[in-house]
Each structure stands twice: as C-alpha cells, then as structure tokens.
Chains A and B, each alone.
Chain A
Amino acid sequence: MFIDGDKCIGCESCINWCPMGAIRMGETTAVIDPEECVECNVCRRVEICPVDAFVQKPLEWPRSVRAIYSDPLNIHKETGLAGRGTEEIKTNDVTGRFRRGQVGVTIEVGRPGIGARLKELEKLSMVLARYGVEFEPKNPLTNLINTHTGQLPAEIREEKVLSAIIEITVEEAKLLDVLALIRETAKGLETVISMDVACRAAEDGTWPCAKILKEAGIFYRPNAKINVGLGKPYIG
C-alpha cells in the first residue's frame, strides 16, 4: 500500500487507523513505512481518506505473503487457500479432524496487535519440527514450511504480517511437553504469541484438555470457543 502524495492533503485522518502504526506524517503528506506495512488493507477499506489517496498495486512474491496473513479477505495465491488458519474445531462435528486422545495446539504469532516478521514464527516451527509434531496439512502456512526442518523459504523470513498461525496436533500425553517447549522458545521471540488448545469432549461431556491444563497449573481463560455439535458427521 502507498499514499499518492499528489492527492494526500495531509489531514492525518488515516494515521491512527493503521493497526501497525505504519502511517506517519511526512513534511506535508502522510506516508507509509513499507517495512512496517503488513498490507492488511484497513486504511483503504475503511474509506477514511477524503481524497482517496491510498493506492494498492498488485503484490509480487514475496511481499504478497504479507497480505495473505494480514488481510482476511485475501486468498493465498500460492496455495489456493484463504485466510490465516483452517476450519479447525469449527467443523469438527462434520470432519472428525480432532479425535479423542488428541489435542490441537494453535500458536498465533504476532497476535494480539503486535505483528511479526516470519522469521519469528520460524523459530517456533523449527523447534516443533525437531520434536516431531504433525503440522496441520490444510493450514496455508504448512504449505510454506519444510515440515521436516520447520524452515521457511529464505525470501519470506523478513516479511512482516499481522499474525500467522502454526497448527499442530499432538497426543494428549505429549501436550505438556509441547507447551513447555513452546513457552521456552517464546522467551527468545521478538513478538508475542496467542496460544490455544483444542480437544473433543470426552464421553462424559468433560474436556480432557481442560483437565490436563488444570492439573498442571496452566492458566486458561474462562471464555472459550465451543462447537455445539449441530453439524452432521460427514460419512463420505
């Protein structure tokens, strides 16, 4: 994204709408710092500019990766997938993706509100690959990760995004080990991660992942996201 300096009247209306704080005033007009802009398109989409000075040219690889993980309306050209993540638990009653005995772990790098260079995400994906986790194949990021080494293509490591998601599945018995690994790795990050775990309800209606977390003294929020079971299972 950039601002057409010939159009901009320097009213400063747009500056605070940028989630990354990438817009600032130059001498007479607003300018966008291309290193900090994550191509989320908020500035243009909210139509705050009175003279329509925002200009979006088609993005070339590797810069296009910024929009993929920052603008939720974008489709991943390279993978054909949309958005930052997957259907995860939202359709688990139909897909049966998360089975009893398994836990899904999602690590959203850069959320909330900080953003991240993809090299920060790679620090986590490399550690997790060494541990031998299973990366969710439908996650658009997994298509970019070397799932054996956790490495990303070198050309995208410095690209900045609003957030990007690593989705993995582990056996219940390994959950605490994996969380400890992530927590330790997070100490060396230059950004934040939003962490969550997912599981299927047990036969008695309890949540096995909640029991594991509680017994281990790991904090979780009182609010959650629950698939209420109205979807019809897909049987092919």
Chain B
Amino acid sequence: MTHTLHRQGTTESLEKDYVVFTMPSSGLNSQGSKPKLEKVFEILKRYNPVNIGDSKGGSRFSLGSDEAVREILVENELVHAVYRSREHVIKVLQDLKDEDLGLSVTVSGLMENIHECCHKVGLTPHTIVMSLGVWGRTDLLAEEKIQKVATMCGHGLVSYNLVRELAAQVKDGRLTARKAGEMLAKPCICGIFNPERAAELIEELDS
C-alpha cells in the first residue's frame, strides 16, 4: 500500500523527513531474500535513522530496540528506515547500489530532493507515486496541525486524540516533546513514523 505517501506538512518541515525502504517482490525474487534484507538492515542502520522497522513485525519503538527488529526479519517483507537529511539518504543509496542486492528500493520525500539524491548516486528513478491529497468529506478531518503529525503513520494507527493529549501534556510541562514523539511512534508498527519531526510539530502546536 501507499503507507509512506500522503505525509502532510510544509516544504521546510518535509525537508527533514525521508523514508527509505527495500523489499523483494513476492514470488519473483523473494525466495532466499532474508540474508539480503539483513544486509539492507545493516546498511540502513549505518546512517543514524530516527526510526527503523519491518512490515511484518514491528519497529524500534513498538518492539523496544533495533536488535529486536533485526531478530524478527523474515523473507519477503519491507524493511524501512527514516532519515532527517538528504546527505544520509545519499549515503544509504550509495551503499545499497554498491551492494547490488537486486532488491527494489523506494524513497519517500520531497520529489526534488529525491531526484537530487538519485543524481548524486548515479541512479535513474524508475516509477513514481504522487499524492493528490484528500477528497470527499474533508470537513471530518482533524485540524491541519494534528494531521501533519498523525499522517506519518500511513496505516492510520496514530490517533488524532493521542496527538492532542500528548501535545497538551507537553504544553503543561508534564512531558518533553521528544518523549511525546517517541510515544506517538509506538503504534506505527512499520517504523515509518518520524519521532523527531513529530516533536518539532508538537512544539509548534504548543507555540
């Protein structure tokens, strides 16, 4: 699914939010893919991801550690990591290119920046998915500031009410924004939620 698409925010905020993920194609190159995914995991870990996880097991924040994520890797799944800078994405892509695993790699983020990352590594972007936004009963949606946080879990597991509650706790000084970001990352089992960006957005909510 399009779980890493549809993230909302200003260009300035999205500048610090990239999801890199790798997956084999079921039945085509998935057999024997586990060692490759373990290699991917090792590469993703090298460049200071702010979250990491897999689609069938959990994330740094849902399982409690990166090691726990690595231990439950299985064949035929997605391995994700979230980065805060283009420089880290470039390094990850360069290492994945050098490793030549043959698995598909996808990057979610600002289009122009992904193009730049690919160019620096000598990659030719293959296929794109573009978000056309939200249609229909948009009057039902939470306020935009809340959506910016919650949409970082594409499966919709981060509740609007939880964002509001934790933002209120941060405002009252009962919780740090950093801790709030980490708590919000917990329901997002794929590990694509960016807790540092969430902390920044919560501080903006507070201001």
Contact = CB atoms under 8 A, between A and B. Distances in A.
A194 B105 contact: no
B111 interface: yes
A113 to B, nearest CB: 6
Given A192-B138, A222-B14, A232-B29, A89 B123 contact: no
Contacts of A196: 2, 5-6, 129-132
Interface stretch (B20-28, B172-180, B198-206): B20-28
A92 interface: yes
B150 interface: yes
Given A16-B161, A40-B157, A226-B127, A94 B186 contact: no
A227 B133 CA distance: 20
B183 to A, nearest CB: 9
Q: Which of B1, B101, B141, B165 has the most CB of A within 10 A?
A: B1
Interface stretch (A29-37, A58-66, A144-152, A204-212): A204-212
Contact of B127 (A98, A186, A190): A98
A189 B136 contact: yes
Contact of B134 (A20, A193, A210, A231): A193
Nearest to B108: A225
Interface string B1-20: 11111111001001000000
Contacts of A200: 126-127
Contacts of A193: 134-136
B38 to A, nearest CB: 17
Contacts of A197: 129-130, 132
A128 B93 CA distance: 38
Interface in B34-61: 55-56
A91 B156 contact: no
Interface in A95-109: 95, 98, 104, 106, 108
A19 B156 contact: yes
Contacts of A213: 130, 132
Interface string B183-199: 00011011000000000
Contacts of A21: 159, 161
A21 B106 CA distance: 33
Contacts of A209: 128, 130
Interface stretch (A1-9, A49-57, A79-87): A79-87
B155 A225 contact: no
Interface residues of A, number: 79
Contacts of A170: none
Contact of B104 (A46, A93, A201): A93
Contact of B25 (A16, A108, A115, A231): A231
A20 B97 CA distance: 41
B55 A87 contact: no
B159 A230 contact: no
A182 interface: yes
Contact of B126 (A46, A86, A113, A227): A227
Nearest to B157: A42
B159 A16 contact: yes
B118 interface: yes
Contacts of A187: 136
A73 B189 contact: yes
B129 A89 contact: yes
Q: Which of A20, A21, A85, A192 has the most CB of B within 10 A?
A: A192
A106 B155 contact: no
B102 A226 contact: no
A226 B125 contact: yes
A228 B2 contact: no
A156 interface: no
A192 B156 contact: no
Contacts of B142: 113
12 contacts: A16-B159, A91-B24, A106-B2, A182-B135, A196-B6, A197-B130, A219-B132, A222-B14, A223-B131, A226-B114, A228-B106, A228-B118
Given A89-B128, A192-B134, A229-B125, 8 more contacts: A82-B56, A108-B2, A196-B132, A220-B133, A228-B93, A229-B126, A230-B97, A231-B102
